[in-house]
Chains A and B, each alone.
Chain A
Amino acid sequence: MSLSRATPGRLGGGAPREADLPLRQSWRARWREWGPGYMLVAPAVVLILLMMLYPVLQTLYFSVSRVQLPSFRTTFVGLDNFARILSSPDTLPLAQRTLVWVAGIVVFRISLGLAAALVFNARVPGTVWLRALVILPWTIPSVVGANLWRWIFQTDSGVLNQSLRAWGLESWALNWLGSPDTAMLAVIVAYGWAGFPFVMLLILARLQGVPQELYEAARIDGANAWQLFRYITLPSLKSVLVVALILEIVSGLNSFDTLVIMTGGGPAKATQIWGLEIYKTGFGAFNLGVASALSVLMFIAVLVVFVFYGAASRAAQRQRREGLA
């Protein structure tokens, strides 16, 4: 309706028709209301866009180029870098390992975070100090945490295997970081441990906003503990769980230091994931073209995740508004 009113007058360049006036007044009114605000945030928006767009554009350009160092002289090679990646027999296993890693991280962190949040939400007396203690893994620098876990999982003299052997569980004392069968699990535990407190805090904050009246009413109706969880707690957490899920997927895709310190991607590439491959290709082999192509492929994957994140955020906002109403 607005288009049919506005277009003829503007294209014609003549005097505004009477029908256009309310719209123009509307724009003026909007500008008066929002214009100063837009002008104030414009420098920051431009800066952020430049900071975000420039590296992305440069990576895109490098991904279709051969890059010579140290001059960063580029030669256009079309899709050669992508063809090389996609035709490599190492790419499919790399993608599979990355998926396993991300799925493992998500499951581990969300399960542990949810369990911890439920425990602390029960408000058991004397657990306030425990809550502070549980947050500790999140506060420890990742380099320290990774070295700590490397020491714990060390096969021959690590704390875990020494303890298992002392308890007579010799067969459980595995070659955690030295075997491709267990190395991925070990690094997932280490990385999951470092990040689960964040998920716990997210969930706990939401849990504490769930009206207690809902539980009281359900109990009067005869609901048991599982039913309370299934029909009240879990639906209340839906939005925050989706947000946590997406954030953890991104975190998993971007993870780097824990893997480098604990295994360096080994043994035999068993823990080499996409992000680590980008780094090794770029800064080990100094092949910035292929590294950029790998980055573009990962960027596309992350973009897909963010589309879901946007939808989840909107759903969460809507739910919060409805809750307030």
Chain B
Amino acid sequence: MDGVMQWPRRHVLGGMLAAGAVAASGGRLAAQGKKPSGTVTIWVGSWWAPQVPLTQKLWQADYPDVQLAFEPLPINGYLDKFSTAALGGTPPDIIDVDTTWVSTVAAKGLLQPLDDVAAKLDVSDISKAVWNAGRFKGVQYAIPARGGPEVYYYNKTVFDKAGVPYPQAGWTHDDLVAIARKLTIKGEQYGMGVPADLSDPSNVLSFFCPILWYFGGDFLTPDEKAPAINTPEAVKAITYWSDFYVKYGAAPEGTPNFSTTRDLMPLFEANKVGLISSSSNTFDALLQKPNVKWGAVLAPDKINRAGGWTMGVPVGAKNPDGAKLFLAWLARPEIQAQVMNRFPASLKARKLPPWNEPKWQIFVEAEPDARSVPSVAGWFEMQTAILTNLQKVLVKQMTPQQAADASAAEMKRIIADNA
């Protein structure tokens, strides 16, 4: 006896095993050449809500025997809801996951390998950065639907009020600081929206990662076996990032508790914030606000984080065959071009209406410069540790060096825990 035993999880995860039985029977059905049927439950971000009727209509035309049940959820706490449901044995059939989450949930065995689906797809048609973010240890665990290069949005009213020219492609990180400072009129408007709230970590990374990479820093060493967040380059990046708030006061007062969607977007729309860094999510949202005068520009020094959303099939999904059928269907360029209301992951879909319109070309231009966060086990815990320490710099509990060292120590432990 080595002290290892199997907890009678039948009692704990009866539902999960029952679902597994259903999954197994579904697999047998597929092997027998029978068509999938039943309902496919799909958890997606709230931005999907307007697209659900169209998606269901197009799907029904192709697969009348399988029903799609979409459940759009708010971004705040999204991953928590999924992990709770997955561990409780009641996951959906498909979960739409942010690219930064895939490795964490895949490493814990909560997602099914999708190499069989991937084998049927034209991988060269899919954004490389998002595709790679769906892989963990050489196995495909999620199929991309939404591409996510980051760009900068600027509020023309805020710029005009401060008499500052709009940023142009080719601007630098030095320009960014100078512009943010010039735009700031304390108590009235602020130059840069700096997200720092842990409830929406992806958007915090969207602003922080390009800065880290610009200064030559990174989260992990190239072999991804040790932290690199406390190198001199990374410390410079943390200093640059926090100075917007701590040194220059060029970010809103509530910054340590601000997220992009809940706080910075409303402030941007209210002409209180001049610049925010975000994905096509914000582009679409701003298109719905005709009263806001805005523009978009490539990130300074052209470095940006490859965001995006990918769809996985959780372990315990009740209808995995139907789920895989949907993933393959959604990967078709003509379908993705129609049903997505955010920048699609399919390169061919981007050449179809409405994505071939000039206004979307900025994302096509940003794509080659997009980089992904590490796809390693425990990444979500690592980023929580890093972001918590970054918050401590903002509230002056730590210096950038102390935050970097504390983050590195926690990352080291997390790497050891997941080894």
Tell me if B272 counts as interface (CB < 8 A to partner A): yes
Residues on the A chain within 8 Å of B109, using CB: 69-71
Contact digits for A150-184, partner B, Cβ 8 Å, 1 yes 0 no: 10001111000000000000000001011110010
User: How many chain-A residues does the 8 Å CB contact rule pick out?
Assistant: 41
Judge whether B288 is part of the interface by a CB distance below 8 angstroms: no
> Do B256 and A267 touch (CB < 8 A)?
yes
- Stretch from B39-47, B56-64, B392-400 that touches the partner: B392-400
Q: Is the CB of A156 within 8 A of B252?
A: yes
A175 to B246, CA, bound (A): 14
- List A contacts of B254 (CB < 8 A): 154-156, 175, 177-178
Q: Which residue of A lies closest to B189 (CB)?
A: A156
* A246-279 contact mask (Cβ, 8 Å, vs B): 1 or 0: 0000000000000011011111111000000001
Which of B12, B257, B388 lies in contact with A269, CB distance below 8 A? B388
Q: A72-B12, A260-B199, A284-B384 are in contact. List 8 more A-B contacts (CB 8 A).
A: A67-B7, A69-B109, A156-B253, A178-B253, A180-B397, A268-B256, A280-B384, A284-B80
The smallest C-beta distance from B262 to any residue of chain A, in angstroms, reads: 8
Question: Would you call B83 and A286 a contact (CB within 8 A)?
Answer: yes
Q: Confirm or deny: B110 has a beta carbon within 8 angstroms of a beta carbon on chain A.
A: yes
Asked whether any CB of chain B lies closer than 8 Å to the CB of A142, the reply is no
Interface-lining segment among B154-162, B211-219, B263-271, B318-326: B263-271
Q: Is A76's beta carbon under 8 Å from chain B?
A: yes
| Interface positions of B (Cβ within 8 A of A) | 3-7, 9, 11-13, 16, 76-77, 80, 83-84, 86-87, 104, 108-110, 190, 196-199, 252-258, 262-263, 266-267, 270, 272, 315-316, 378, 380-381, 384, 388, 391-392, 394-395, 397, 414, 417
Which residue from chain B places its CB closest to the CB of A62 in the assembled complex?
A: B7
Among A65, A71, A260, A268, contact of B391 (Cβ-Cβ < 8 Å): A268
User: Chain A residues with Cβ under 8 A from B76's Cβ?
Assistant: 261
Q: Which of B84, B272, B395 contacts A180 (CB 8 A)?
A: B395
Q: Evaluate whether A177 and B257 lie within 8 angstroms (CB atoms) in the complex, with A70-B108, A70-B110, A267-B394 already known.
A: yes
Measured CA separation A190–B197 after assembly (Å) = 19
Cα distance A267–B398 when bound, in Å?
A: 13
Establish whether residues A76 and B391, one from each chain, have CB atoms under 8 Å apart when the complex forms.
no
Given contacts A69-B87, A157-B267, A283-B84, contact A178 B257 (CB under 8 A): yes
15 contacts between A and B (CB under 8 A): A54-B11, A70-B108, A75-B4, A156-B267, A178-B395, A260-B199, A261-B76, A266-B391, A268-B388, A269-B388, A279-B80, A283-B83, A284-B380, A285-B384, A285-B414
Tell whether, in the assembled complex, residue B7 and residue A284 are in contact, meaning their CB atoms are under 8 Å apart.
Answer: no
User: Judging by beta carbons under 8 Å apart, are A178 and B4 in contact?
Assistant: no
Q: How many whole Å from A299's CB to the nearest CB in chain B?
A: 18
A74 interfacial by beta-carbon distance below 8 Å = yes
Contacts of B11 in A (CB 8 A): 54
Q: How far is the CA of A54 from the CA of B11 in the complex (A)?
A: 10
Q: Nearest-CB distance from A28 to chain B (Å)?
A: 40
Q: How far is the CB of B16 from chain A (nearest CB, A)?
A: 8
Contacts of B80 in A (CB 8 A): 279, 283-284
Q: Shortest beta-carbon distance, A206 to chain B, in Å?
A: 39
How far, in whole Å, are A261 and B262 apart by their CA atoms in the complex?
11
Known interface pairs A70-B86, A287-B417. Does A155 touch B252 (Cβ–Cβ under 8 Å)?
A: yes
CB distance from A66 to the nearest CB of B (A): 9
- Closest-by-CB residue of A relative to B263 is A154
Q: How far is the CB of B55 from chain A (nearest CB, A)?
A: 27
Q: 1/0 contact trace for A100-141 toward B, CB 8 Å?
A: 000000000000000000000000000000000000000000
Chain A contacts of B384 at CB under 8 A? 280, 284-285
The reply to whether A157 and B110 form a contact with Cβ atoms under 8 Å apart is no
Complex CA distance for A316 and B11, rounded to whole angstroms: 40
Chain A residues, CB < 8 A from B262: 150
In the docked arrangement, what's the CA distance between A175 and B249, Å?
13
Q: How far is the CA of A178 from the CA of B245 in the complex (A)?
A: 12
Nearest opposing residue in chain B for A156, CB measure: B252
Q: Which residue of A lies closest to B198 (CB)?
A: A264
Complex Cα–Cα for A279 and B86 (A): 15
Tell which of A69, A268, A284 touches B395, judged by Cβ atoms closer than 8 Å. Answer: A268
Q: CB < 8 Å: which of A74, A178, A260, A286 contacts B7?
A: A74
Contact of B257 among A74, A76, A157, A267 (CB under 8 A): A267
Let me know if A73 is at the binding interface, CB within 8 A. Answer: yes
Asked whether any CB of chain B lies closer than 8 Å to the CB of A58, the reply is: yes
**Distance in Å from the Cβ of B109 to the closest Cβ of chain A?**
4
Q: Point out the residues of chain A lying under 8 angstroms from B196, CB to CB.
A: 267
Q: Whole-angstrom distance between the alpha carbons of A261 and B75 in the complex?
A: 12
Are the C-beta atoms of B12 and A283 separated by less than 8 Å?
Answer: no
A309 at interface, CB cutoff 8 A: no
Q: Which residues of A contact B86 (CB under 8 A)?
A: 70
* Bound-state Cα–Cα, A270 to B110, Å: 31
Contact B83 A157 (CB under 8 A): no
In the assembled complex, how far is the CB of residue B411 from the closest CB belonging to chain A, in whole angstroms? 12
A198: chain B residues at CB < 8 Å are none
B87 touches A70 (CB 8 A): yes
Determine whether the beta carbon of A72 is less than 8 Å from that of B256.
Answer: no
Residue of A nearest to B6 (CB): A73
A284→B105 CA distance, assembly (Å): 10
What's the Cα separation between A268 and B242 when bound, in Å?
14
Q: Please, how many angstroms separate the alpha-carbon atoms of A177 and B400 in the complex?
A: 22
- Is A61 on the interface with B (CB-CB < 8 A)? yes
For A73, give the chain B residue with the smallest CB separation: B6
**CB < 8 Å: which of B108, B110, B257, B378 contacts A266?**
B257
- Chain B residues contacting A287 (CB-CB under 8 Å) are 417
Chain B residues contacting A283 (CB-CB under 8 Å) are 80, 83-84, 87
Q: How far is A285 from B199 in the complex, measured between Cα atoms in Å? A: 15
Contact A74 B5 (CB under 8 A): yes
Contact check, A175 vs B253: say whether CB atoms are below 8 A apart: yes
Are A75 and B267 interface neighbours, CB within 8 A? no
Asked whether A155 and B395 contact (CB < 8 A) given A178-B258, A280-B384, the answer is no
Whether B253 pairs with A263 at a CB distance below 8 angstroms is no
